[in-house]
Amino acid sequence: MRTSPQQIDLWRQAASEHQRLEFKEAKQQFDTRKLREYCVALANEGGGVLLLGIADQPPRQVVSTQAFPDTVAAAEQLFRAVGFRVDIEDVAHPDGRVLVFHIPSRPRGTAYNLEGKYLMRAGEALVPMSEDQLRRIFSEGQPDWLEEPSRRGLDGQEVVELLDTQTFFELLRLPYPTNRAGVLDRLISDKLVDDIGGSYTIRRLGALLLARRLSDFPDLSRKAARIVAYSGSSKLQTKLDHVFNRGYAAGFQELVQFVYSQLPQNEVIEHALRKEVKLVPDVVIRELLANALIHQDFAVAGASVMIDIFANRVEISNPGEPLVPVERFIDGYQSRNEHLADLMRRFGICEEKSSGIDRVVDAAEVYQLPAPDFHAGFRRTIVTIFGPLPFDQMDRNNRVRACYQHCALRWVMGERMTNQTLRERFRLGEEKAAVTSQVISATIEANLIKPDGSIGASRKFARYLPFWA
C-alpha cells in the first residue's frame, strides 16, 4: 500500500469530503484524541482515508504537516486506543509532507466505540450514532424482518383471498394469469410468497404491500397507517381518527385520496373568481406518504406511519430516525428497506432516486407555501407541510429554511441561487432586494449556505451554494 503524490492530488480534486475521505491542515500538530475519534467514525462508516497536511477547503492546497514525526509509535498508540490497526504513511509530496491514515471498515455486524461512544460524522462534526443506526449495524447478517413469514400453512385459495392479487398485476402492468397457479408463481418469483412442501407462506413484505386487510395479519396490524384530523391547530380536539387497513401498494391511491379529502380548504380569488383549494397540493401528500411508508423502521414495535392533519399544517411521520441527515434530504438517498423500495418503484409509487423530496420542495415554491420542515424526533422522522403564509408573516426560521432549501434545490438542478431567484421564490419585487439579502445573510450565518467563490467578490452578481456542495 504505497500512496503516491499523484494519488494525493486525485483525492484533493474530489468535489467535497465524503464518508471515505477527510482532510485536515494540522500544520504543526493534530490532537491525538481527535485523531482517534476520526478513526472510529470513519471505520464505522465503512473505512476510508484521513489526510493531514492538506487544507480542508478548496482548492485544498498541500500545506505540509509536522504532526506525528514518529509514525510507527503513532500507529502503535492508535492501535492500543481504538482496538484496530490503522496504517500510517509519510508521503513526500512536492509541496510538503502529507500523512495518510488508512482506516479499515468495521467488521460486519460490529460497530467500534471509543470509551463507550459509537461515533460517526455529521458534516464537520463527530456525533454519537443513533440507536436506530446501531440497531441496524448489529442486526447485519440476521434475517430481514420483512422477509420473514407472516402467515403459514395456507392453500392457494387462502392466499388469493388474503392478498389483492388483481391490483398487484395491475400495478405491474401485466395481464392477470388465466389460472391460480400463474398468480402464485408470480408472487413466489417476487419473493412475496413461499411454496413450502405444497402449502404456502405469505411473507411480511407480501402482506404489507398487498393485504386486503392488514388486520388479517396479527404481526402487521400495528403497521397500518393512521390518519388523525383535528379541528384547530392543536391536538386538543380530534374530529377523525382512522386506521387505513389496506396494504401499502394495494391501497396507496386510496390512502392518498382519503388523506387529501380530509385537508382543510381555503378560499382564494383567481382571475376574479372565488374557488376552494386544499391546504397543500396532492403531489406533496403523495410523495411524503410514499417516503414515510418506504423508509420507516419496522424494528420499532407498536408504531406506524402517522398523518396528523391540522387547520394550518399537515404532519407526516414514520417510525425510525433518518439514515440521511435531514438537511441532506434534497440531495441524498439511502433506502432502509431495499426490497420494499424496489417493489414500490416497480409499482410506480416511488422512483427510488431521491426525487420525491425535490418535488415536495419544488411544489412548496410553486404554490407559495412555507418551506417544509424535516426533523428527527425520538425514534421518528417527521415532515411538516404548512398552509399558505405570506412572506411578511414568515418568521426568521421559516425564511432561513426556505432560503436553504431553494439553494439546495437549485444546486441539484445544476443551477445556482442568486438574490433574484430567491426573490422569485418568495414572489418579491426588485425593490425587496435588500430584504432578500438579509435572508441570505441570515442563512449564511446559520452555516446552511455559502457564497460561490467562482464569480469573485461582486455582491450584485453573487451566487450561492448549499454548505455541503
Q: Which set of grid coordinates corresponds to residue 103? A: 482506516
Residue-wise pLDDT tens digits, 34-91: 999 999 999 999 999 999 999 988 889 999 999 999 999 999 999 999 999 999 999 9
Query: Which of 306, 409, 324, 417 lies closest to 359, judged by CA?
Result: 409
**Distance of alpha carbon 195 from alpha carbon 206, whole angstroms:** 13
- Grid cell at residue 29: 500538530
Residue pair 244/225 in contact (Cβ under 8 Å)? The answer is yes
Among 416, 417, 420, smallest CA distance to 428 is for 420
d(C-alpha 216, C-alpha 212), whole Å:
8
C-alpha cell at 452: 460561490
What's the confidence (pLDDT) of residue 276? 63
Beta bridge partners of 376: 381
pLDDT, residue 468, reads: 83
Cell of 198: 405444497
CA distance 398 to 406: 12
pLDDT for 461: 73
Q: How many Å apart are CA 182 and CA 168, to the nearest integer? A: 13
The C-alpha cell at 124 is 464537520
Say whether domain 224-386 belongs to CATH 3.30.565.60: yes
- pLDDT value for 16: 73
Strands 380-386 and 306-309, bridge-based pairing: unpaired
344 neighbors 248 (Cβ within 8 angstroms): yes
User: 426: which 3 cell numbers?
Assistant: 418568495
Cβ(245)–Cβ(284) below 8 Å: no
Distances (CA, A) of 460 to 169, 406, 423, 428, 453: 56, 19, 14, 17, 13
Low-confidence ranges of the chain (pLDDT < 70): 1, 123, 266-276, 333-334, 351-355, 454-460
Which uninterrupted H or E stretch holds 87? strand 87-93
Separation between Cα atoms, residue 87 and residue 78, nearest integer Å = 10
* CB neighbourhood size of 110 (10 A): 12
Q: Tell me whether domains 224-386 and 393-466 share a fold.
A: no
In this prediction, residue 336 carries a pLDDT of: 80
Entry field: residues in the chain: 469
**What's the CATH fold of domain 5-138?**
3.30.950
DSSP run (H or E) holding 43 = helix 32-44
Whole-angstrom Cα distance, residue 57 to residue 295? 33
Where are the domains positioned within the chain?
A: 5-138, 145-218, 224-386, 393-466
393-466 adopts what CATH topology? Arc Repressor Mutant, subunit A (1.10.10)
